[in-house]
Amino acid sequence: MPASVTVCGAGLRLSEVDDLASLARRLRSAPAPAEVRRFAAPDTVLAPVEREVYGPVEPRVPARAGTRGLRSLPHESLLALGAAASTPGKQGPDDTTAVVWASSTAGLPEYATVCAEASTLEPGFVAPALGPASAHNGPAATVSIRLGLAGPNLTLTGGATAGISAIAEAMRLIAAGDARAALVGASATVTRWSLTAAQDHLTPAEGAACLVLDPAGGSGIQLGECHRTDLVRATARVIQAAARPQTRPDGLVVSTSDFGLVDALASGQPFPVWHVERALGDLGAAGGFLAVVGAAALCAATGPLAAPRPLPDAGLLAGPGLLPDAGLLAGPGLLPDAGLLAGAGLLAAPGERSEPNPIRPTKILALAVEPCGSTASLEVSSS
């Protein structure tokens, strides 16, 4: 794995989020109201249900991805394509950019529809076009084929850690030389089928997001220091990092279905903690990916601030002792200024204040935690 990669572009297709700045705002704000939608699964015993969800989201596929054949593509593949094709960059025919995608839901409605058709139609009358789309890899395949990216094509599934593992695997493919660069993304859709496994305390959400990762160093948002381990070790890492000014992050973005865990992680920390599922809803594997995109958005909102800025209140805000309520900042509605707090100099520890250049890169950790205890984390920084 290379030490780090640079984020060269981002594409977003999310409810009520247009760009990285609005993603950062959304993470810092109280949860937005969700829309009640009705979901049905024809030809099955499943009764229609009404549920508050974040969505629907329009794919808005740019012309770059071509137009013919779009209408036969699954909605989730279209969301992925919309996000991917809106990133900058024109690839040549032999482009070895990797496409690495994470999703818990891709192909699920197609799989279920084939089953329903097989249950109600004669053998051989099942729509064949649904079949290949009923596996998990529709989004990655669609992006690779439509954008002509001949690098490795990888799909990860599972829970929230898959969204961060996707970035780790993309970094591995770049380091090995299999890929020149990587288009990494994640997506989720809400259907009557996905709702059978939805958790009551979360708002299901649909959407897609992607990042273009390049190994070349340079200024901008950097991703590095990926760790995939169990919850005990991951928590220990956060606590250890927080204990020392040199390693202390300026914030933590967590993707988990466990609100209590987020409260526990936030308690006593000298930095704010943001919660993906609270702000954006349940996106499955894409939640872990959005922890990284969210961290990048928060870095971008505060970080490229590499230029020195006046720090009138730095002294007041700096230092763990002066932020007794930092944990509370993670509470609902209490985060209006959290982004400001994450600003480079504003969280400088007392020991650092005497340094000639108090500006250091903003560093925000992204962490995904699954109910089984698997975790993945990544360090997002601006330089």
Partner 1 sequence: MPQETSATRLRALAAEVFDVPAEEITDGAAFYEDLGVDSLQKVDFVVRMERQLGLKLTDDEAAGMRDLGGAITVLRSRGLSVGP
Partner 2 sequence: MDRDGVAVSGVGAVSPAGLGVHALWRAIEDRRVLTGPVTRYDLSGYPTRQAAEVPPGAVAALDSLVPPHESLAARYLAAATLEALGDAGLPAHRRRGRLGLFVGTVMGTRPLLDRAIGRGPLGVADRAWARPDELLAAVRQVVTVDGPAVLLAPGCSAGNEAIAAGAAAVASGEVDVAVCGGADELSLEVFAFFTSMRALAADAIRPFDAGRRGTMPGEGAAVLVLERAERVAARGRKPLARVLATASAADAHNLTQPHPDGAGLIATIQTCLDRARVEPDDVDWVCAHGTGTPANDAVEARAVAKALGGRRRPVLSSVKGQLGHAEGAAAALEAVIGVRALAYDLVPGNVTLVEPDPECAGVDLVEPAGRRGPVRRVLSQAYGFGGAVCTVLLGKGNPDAR
Per CB under 8 A, which of residues 112..141 are in contact with partner 2? 112, 114-120, 122-128, 130-138, 140-141
| Pick 178 or 258: Cβ nearer partner 2 | 178
> What character string, x for contact with partner 2 (CB under 8 A) and - otherwise, covers 204-243?
------------------------xxx--x----------
> What character string, x for contact with partner 2 (CB under 8 A) and - otherwise, covers 12-51?
-----------------------------x-xxxx-----
| Pick 124 or 310: Cβ nearer partner 1 | 124
Burial class (CB in 10 A: 0-12, 13-18, 19+), 47: exposed
Contacts of 264 (CB under 8 A, 6+ apart): none
* CA distance from start to end of the chain: 20
Contacts of 309 (CB under 8 A, 6+ apart): 343, 345
Q: Tell me the DSSP string of 98-147.
A: EEEEEESSTTHHHHHHHHHHHHHS-TT-S-GGGTGGGSTTHHHHHHHHHH
Angular region, 15: left φ>0, alpha ψ -120 to 50, beta rest: beta
Q: CA angle at residue 239 from 233 to 245, to 5 degrees? A: 135
CB atoms within 10 A of CB 142: 25
| Pick 142 or 381: Cβ nearer partner 2 | 142
Q: How far is the CB of 41 from partner 1 (least distance, A)?
A: 20
Q: How far is the CB of 129 from partner 1 (least distance, A)?
A: 4
Residue 187 near residue 79, CB atoms below 8 Å: yes
Among 72, 196, 199, 219, binds partner 1 (CB under 8 A): 72
Instruction: Tell me the β-bridge partners of 254.
Output: 275, 367
> Per CB under 8 A, does 82 bind partner 2?
no
Of these partners, partner 2, partner 1, none, which one is at the site of residue 44 (CB under 5 to 8 Å by kind)?
Answer: partner 2
Instruction: Tell me the β-bridge partners of 38.
Output: 50
Using the contact rule CB under 8 A, the part of the chain among 128-136, 181-189, 330-338, 344-352 near partner 1 is 128-136
Among 69, 315, 350, 371, binds partner 1 (CB under 8 A): 69
Q: How far is the CB of 126 from partner 1 (least distance, A)?
A: 8
Chain positions contacting partner 1, by CB under 8 A = 68-72, 121, 124-129, 132
